[in-house]
């Protein structure tokens, strides 16, 4: 399947990867891989199973047998739709902890490759261009200032009726950036040849058009 085109969109939390990736996939009629959801599902499974988040072997076993299913924007863990549940900040923070365990990343590797199906795939995460799809046709690294990203998260939570505290969000976001950037396996860095897009002062639609434009030039 290595001839099937892949567009990778990596970047830090709340840079807009998920939103931009979904729109680009829709415009091109491509499949979508929200790789962060797999780490979030693994974190949720671990929390529910009462497994310690530093027990690499136990967490990797859960990842290996992850009953994850994606259907029309819904995310299932077994029979349960958990799309909203896994968006909680606590699950995101725990996802970033278990994502630093090499055996967990290894356990999720084959599952991610299987998303590469005709006519193409848009994959978003941290290591889509560096580790999972190094031969992707187009690699994008989305960024935005930490302030812009904290504001986006804040707005997302308020819109969902969840109370949020800006200072706490900013601190969580910086802690997550720190962990994701400095871990030894698959750290968050732009892939070789990646196009860097700073969306601090950019709307989602402009970012989507830029990615489509780059793709059209290949
Ligand atoms: O939406 P947000 O960027 O906050 O998070 P996400 O993409 O859903 O990913 C949650 C966590 O999973 C991140 O903080 C990363 O530590 C981890 N992750 C990863 O290590 N590799 C990926 N390809 C995707 C996510
Ligand atoms: O997936 P990731 O954590 O990188 O971010 P997201 O959940 O896709 O986007 C975070 C929020 O920022 C969403 O509500 C987007 O609509 C918003 N956003 C924005 O306001 N401007 C952009 N250029 C990109 C995203």
7, exposed or middle or buried, with CB in 10 Å at 0-12, 13-18, 19+? buried
Residues 75-79: contacts with CB under 8 Å, at least 24 apart: 75/34, 75/37, 75/41, 77/41, 77/44, 77/45
User: Atom 6 of ligand 1 has which residue's CA nearest to it?
Assistant: 36
Q: Residue 1 pLDDT more than 80?
A: no
Query: Is 119 marked as a binding-site residue?
Result: no
CB atoms within 10 A of CB 152: 19
Could you read off the pLDDT of 35-54 as tens digits, one per residue? 999 999 999 999 999 999 99
Could you read off the pLDDT of 130-141 as tens digits, one per residue? 999 999 999 999
Query: How far from 180 is each of 36, 105, 120, CA to CA, in Å?
Result: 12, 13, 27
Beta-strand pair 138-143/6-10: parallel
Residue 15 CB less than 6 A away from ligand 2: yes
Instruction: Return the ∠ at Cα 1 (arms to 63 and 129), rounded to 5°.
Output: 60
Q: Using an 8 Å Cβ cutoff, are 208 and 23 in contact?
A: yes
Q: How confident is the model at residue 73 (pLDDT cuts 50, 70, 90)?
A: confident
SS3 of residue 69 by DSSP: strand
Give which of 2, 3, 20 is closest to 11, Cα–Cα: 20
Residue 32 CB less than 6 A away from ligand 2: no
Question: pTM for the whole thing?
Answer: 0.95
First to last CA, the chain: 19
Ligand 1 geometric centre to CA of 93 (Å):
9
Q: Is 152 left (phi over 0), alpha (psi -120 to 50) or beta?
A: alpha
For residue 8, the model assigns a pLDDT of 98
Residue to mutate, 8, 13, 133, 142, ligand 1, most ligand atoms under 8 Å from C-beta = 13
For residue 201, the model assigns a pLDDT of 96
Residues 214 and 3: their CA atoms lie apart, in Å, by: 19
Could you read off the pLDDT of 55-69 as tens digits, one per residue? 999 999 999 999 999
Residue 96 CB less than 6 A away from ligand 2: no
Could you read off the pLDDT of 177-202 as tens digits, one per residue? 998 888 888 889 999 999 999 999 99
């Amino acid at each position: 399947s290595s001839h099937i085109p892949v567009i990778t969109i990596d970047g830090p939390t709340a840079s807009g990867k998920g939103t931009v990736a979904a729109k680009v996939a829709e415009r091109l009629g491509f499949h979508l891989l929200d790789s962060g959801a797999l780490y979030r599902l693994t974190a949720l499974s671990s929390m529910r199973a009462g497994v310690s988040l530093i027990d690499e072997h136990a967490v990797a076993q859960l990842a290996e047998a992850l009953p994850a299913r994606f259907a029309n924007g819904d995310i299932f863990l077994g029979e349960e739709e958990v799309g909203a549940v896994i968006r909680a900040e606590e699950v995101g923070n725990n996802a970033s902890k278990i994502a630093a365990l090499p055996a967990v990343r290894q356990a999720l590797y084959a599952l991610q490759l299987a998303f590469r199906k005709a006519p193409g795939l848009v994959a978003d995460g941290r290591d889509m261009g560096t580790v999972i799809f190094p031969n992707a046709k187009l690699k994008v690294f989305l960024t935005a200032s930490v302030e812009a990203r904290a504001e986006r998260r804040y707005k997302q939570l308020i819109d969902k009726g969840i109370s949020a505290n800006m200072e706490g969000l900013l601190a969580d976001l910086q802690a997550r950036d720190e962990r994701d950037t400095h871990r030894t396996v698959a750290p968050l860095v732009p892939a070789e040849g990646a196009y860097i897009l700073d969306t601090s002062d950019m709307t989602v639609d402009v970012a989507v058009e830029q990615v489509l434009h780059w793709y059209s030039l290949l």
